[in-house]
Amino acid sequence: MRVLVIGSGGREHALCWKLKQSPEIEELYCAPGNGGIAEVASCVPIAPEDTHELAEFAAGLSMDLTVVGPELPLTLGIVDEFNKRGLTIFGPNRLGAELEGSKVFSKQFMLRNGIPTPGADLCESEDEARAACKKRGFPVVLKADGLAAGKGVAILKNGEDMEQALQGFFRDRKFGNAASKVLVEECVEGEEVSFMVLVDGARILPLASAKDYKRLGEGDTGPNTGGMGAHSPAVILDKETSHKVMTEVIAPAVAGMAREGREYRGVLYAGLMLTEQGLKVLEFNCRFGDPETQAILPRMETDLLPLLLQSARGKFTTPKIEWKKEAVACVVVASGGYPESYAKGLPVEGLEAAGGVEGVTVFHSGTKQEDGRLVTSGGRVFNVCARGATLAQALSRAYLAVKDINFENRVYRNDIGQSVLKRMHYA
């Protein structure tokens, strides 16, 4: 089979890496790819948002399947464009992708369908948002309505935080039109966990659980990022709670989307908070999580390709997904200055040594080949992933490999998974 993966990050490297293992794969392409993806797939210089050009390319090569990594092309309607041409593509159509593309739609959808979620106020101006913050009281969460690369969320602890965030959202237009509407949301406390499933329009296949770490700094401090690390299993999600997620969150969401004329195919990702009051859905995403995917796919025993094809065609025939009984830890190595401004084009050393650590696979997130050498090209540069019999062993191996990777002003969190390990120790 001939397969195209769309995207250029660590998630797409992990998808290409896993798909390449399928005996059905004959040719694998990635648009645009990166310096690491080039080792397992043929990279094509087409941007993910160029939906028409991607459809032309897929049609020209008679792609058997296209797999969409990032959210932007999904919200732009790439699935609809491919469907018009009779091309098989994995992911939700534009109406389905609105679950991620609009925080306002998503919140209203959850409330309509009885899905547990924190309370929120919809605000369309700075003054409305300020009044809503004061009404709810601090701490409170401010969310941009549209896509903001995982960074359009601010937790406001006091009035100073509020004024700074409101200036960024409204006056400085830090997120452009994505913040023309915002949600001022109740701040809930607990353990955050990621829950992803594959959907064929009606039937659901759960993926292994994962926990990601979004804050830049250790102890979950500093600004939100696209994710600084993850591990699978989440550990903090037991069987009873997983069952509740399926029955109280996932199943109602899939049924609700179908009822509203938005049949959902692809990945459905629920970002959850496990609170003392029960489950709360913080957000829905319409694609594989990043970096959760990098932690989950190395545990997958089942061939990924048939699962994606069956979802895209609207009919699962694989009854369930088999998983390795081990843990995978993922540590993100980023450029200093991320998630704001950061240098690019920095030479990278030590990858071979890192990849030689037992159980380690390094996925490239922001690299490219330049003049015959590998250099940085993004804020998140590498996802260092390691398998282990236990989470502690997986983390130990990942951090051992991280120490081998060098480029100027690199940053990473030293505490990925530590809060979970402590809980396990004292449980």
Same domain for 75 and 40 = yes
C-alpha span between 112 and 97 (Å, rounded): 18
The separation between CA 224 and the C-alpha centre of its own chain, rounded to angstroms, equals 13
Tokens at residue 48, please?
A: 């993910």
Q: Which of 110, 145, 180 is at the close of a domain?
A: 180
Tokens at residue 64, please?
A: 């058997």
Question: Is there a contact between 225 and 9 (Cβ–Cβ < 8 Å)?
Answer: no
CA distances in angstroms from 417 to 190, 234, 253, 373, listed in the order given: 15, 9, 29, 33
Q: Is the peptide bond before 70 cis (omega within 30 degrees of 0)?
A: no
Task: Give the pLDDT score at 426.
Answer: 55
CATH of the domain at 35: 3.40.50.20
CA distances in angstroms from 5 to 13, 63, 228, 333, 415, listed in the order given: 9, 10, 23, 23, 32
Write the burial class of residue 273 (CB in 10 Å: 0-12 exposed, 13-18 middle, 19+ buried): buried
Mean pLDDT of 24-49: 98
Bridge-based pairing of strands 278-285 and 2-7 is: unpaired
Same domain for 160 and 241 = no
Is residue 147 in a domain?
yes
Question: Is there a contact between 400 and 331 (Cβ–Cβ < 8 Å)?
Answer: no
Type of residue numbered 327? A
Residues 292-342: tens digit of each pLDDT: 999 999 999 999 999 999 999 999 999 999 999 999 999 999 999 999 999
Mean pLDDT of 145-169: 90
Same domain for 209 and 174 = no
Mean pLDDT of 19-48: 98
Tell me the β-bridge partners of 323.
300
Is residue 408 in a domain?
yes
Beta-carbon-side half-sphere exposure of residue 382 (alpha carbons within 13 Å): 31
Is residue 118 in a domain?
no
Domain that holds residue 50: 2-93
Same domain for 230 and 302 = yes
Q: Is the peptide bond before 339 cis (omega within 30 degrees of 0)?
A: yes
In order, the DSSP letters of 340-389 are S------B-B-HHHHHTSTTEEEEESSEEEETTEEEE-SSEEEEEEEEES
Question: Is there a contact between 299 and 385 (Cβ–Cβ < 8 Å)?
Answer: no
Same domain for 215 and 148 = no
Residues 258-286: tens digit of each pLDDT: 999 999 999 999 999 999 999 999 999 99
Mean pLDDT of 236-254: 95
Is residue 107 in a domain?
no
CATH of the domain at 301: 3.30.470.20
Is residue 399 in a domain?
yes
Task: Give the pLDDT score at 301.
Answer: 98
Is residue 117 in a domain?
no
Indicate the number of domains in the chain: 4
Same domain for 193 and 308 = yes
Task: Give the pLDDT score at 224.
Answer: 85
Question: Is there a contact between 51 and 83 (Cβ–Cβ < 8 Å)?
Answer: no
Tokens at residue 342, please?
A: 């950061």
Q: Which of 75, 93, 111 is at the close of a domain?
A: 93
Is the pLDDT assigned to residue 22 strictly greater than 50? yes
Task: Give the pLDDT score at 151.
Answer: 75
Question: Is there a contact between 12 and 380 (Cβ–Cβ < 8 Å)?
Answer: no
Is the pLDDT assigned to residue 427 strictly greater than 60? no
Tokens at residue 195, please?
A: 């829950």
Residues 370-410: tens digit of each pLDDT: 999 999 999 999 999 999 999 999 999 999 999 999 999 99
Is the pLDDT assigned to residue 150 strictly greater than 80? no
- Consecutive H or E run containing 266: strand 265-275
CATH of the domain at 356: 3.90.600.10
Write the burial class of residue 31 (CB in 10 Å: 0-12 exposed, 13-18 middle, 19+ buried): buried
Is residue 100 in a domain?
no
CATH of the domain at 152: 3.30.1490.20
CA nearest neighbour of 9 among 288, 416, 381, 384 = 381
Same domain for 287 and 215 = yes
Q: Which of 249, 284, 313 is at the close of a domain?
A: 313
Question: Is there a contact between 139 and 156 (Cβ–Cβ < 8 Å)?
Answer: yes
Same domain for 169 and 214 = no
In order, the DSSP letters of 181-204 are SEEEEE---SEEEEEEEEEESS-E
Same domain for 408 and 332 = yes
Residues 361-380: tens digit of each pLDDT: 999 999 999 999 999 999 99
Is residue 99 in a domain?
no
Tokens at residue 13, please?
A: 């490297």
Tokens at residue 352, please?
A: 């071979």
Same domain for 351 and 250 = no
Same domain for 334 and 249 = no
Give this prediction's pTM: 0.95
Same domain for 251 and 156 = no
